[in-house]
Structure formats: C-alpha cells, structure tokens
Amino acid sequence: MVMPAVDPAVQAARDGFGRWLRDEIDRRGWTVADFARAIGCYHSVAYRWVHGASRPRPIQCEQIARALGIDYDRVLDAAGHRPYAGASEIRSEVRRLVDAVDEPRLAAILPILRELAGDRDAARETNGRPGTCVIRGN
C-alpha cells in the first residue's frame, strides 16, 4: 500500500513538536509509556507524536500541559495550533508582569487591556474612577 505524500510544512511541524515533546519527557526522566499513562492515552498515540507521525489535537494539548505541569499555551504553540510562534512566551511574560504589579496599578491598566481585547463596553464602565483611563473613540 502506497502512503500519500505529506506536505513538507506539515511534516516539519510534526517533527518539531516531536522533538519538543521528547525533550519534555526526557527532562522529567520519563519514558514514552510513562508519559502516555500520565495523560491517559495509548502508548502508540504518544509514540506517534514523539516520532513526528502525528500531532495532538488542542484538547489533547490540554491533557499534555496538565501532565507536564506547563502552560497550555506553550503546548499549543509547540503543536502548531497558534497563529504565530512565541505566543506562549509572550503570554507567560505578561502573566509574570501582572503578578508583579500591585492591585491599584492593575486597576489602572485593566481598561487598557479590555480595550486591546476589544471589550469596549467593559472598558468604558471604569471611566471616571480614580486610577483608570478614559477611552476615546466610538
């Protein structure tokens, strides 16, 4: 039986995820079988991921993140489910910075974040209160 050709870009993404996952598994001193048990999947499925034969779906990425104790966004990035590389690093940096900011300053930047996220109505609700910004526009 002749297998259909795989798009080189798809195979590169699979290979990249496989190398990343193998490094994460090795870092913990696990085997592929240990990893499969940790996420509750068949060994053959985990083996295919590690060896670049396939990639996990987003719901499986969530299970992987939980088992490895890492950020879900990081796994989604590694598996190629994000529109641009580096999303998890950016989100991690934002979380780190937010954790370092005190409550009054967080209240001051919340309307800006809401505006950037497209939540204009929620951002406008804070107008006129101390420590907030006034959003100009529509």
Q: How many CB atoms lie within 10 A of CB 114?
A: 18
Predicted pLDDT at 116? 81
Q: Which of 62, 35, 30 is nearest to 48 (CA)?
A: 35
CB 83, CB 91: distance < 8 Å: no
Predicted pLDDT at 136? 42
Arithmetic mean of pLDDT over the chain: 79
Q: What is the mean pLDDT of residues 81-86?
A: 65
Q: What does the H/E/C string look like for 62-90?
A: HHHHHHHCCCHHHHHHHCCCCCCCCHHHH
Q: Residue ranges per domain, the chain? A: 8-83
Q: Does the model's pTM come out above 0.95? A: no
Instruction: Give the integer Cα–Cα distance in Å for 18 and 54.
Output: 9
Give the helix/strand (H/E) hosting 118. Answer: none
Predicted pLDDT at 10? 55
Q: Does 25 have pLDDT greater than 90?
A: yes
Q: 59-70 pLDDT, tens per residue?
A: 999 999 999 999
Q: What is the mean pLDDT of residues 38-67?
A: 93
Q: Does 37 have pLDDT greater than 90?
A: yes
As a whole-number percent, the residues of the chain with pLDDT over 90 amount to 36
8-83 fold = 434 Repressor (Amino-terminal Domain) (1.10.260)
| Residue 80 structure tokens | 């190629």
Q: Which of 48, 44, 41 is nearest to 22 (CA)?
A: 48
Place 137 in a pLDDT band, splitting at 50, 70 and 90. Answer: very low
Angle at which helix 43-50 crosses helix 32-39, to 10 degrees, equals: 120
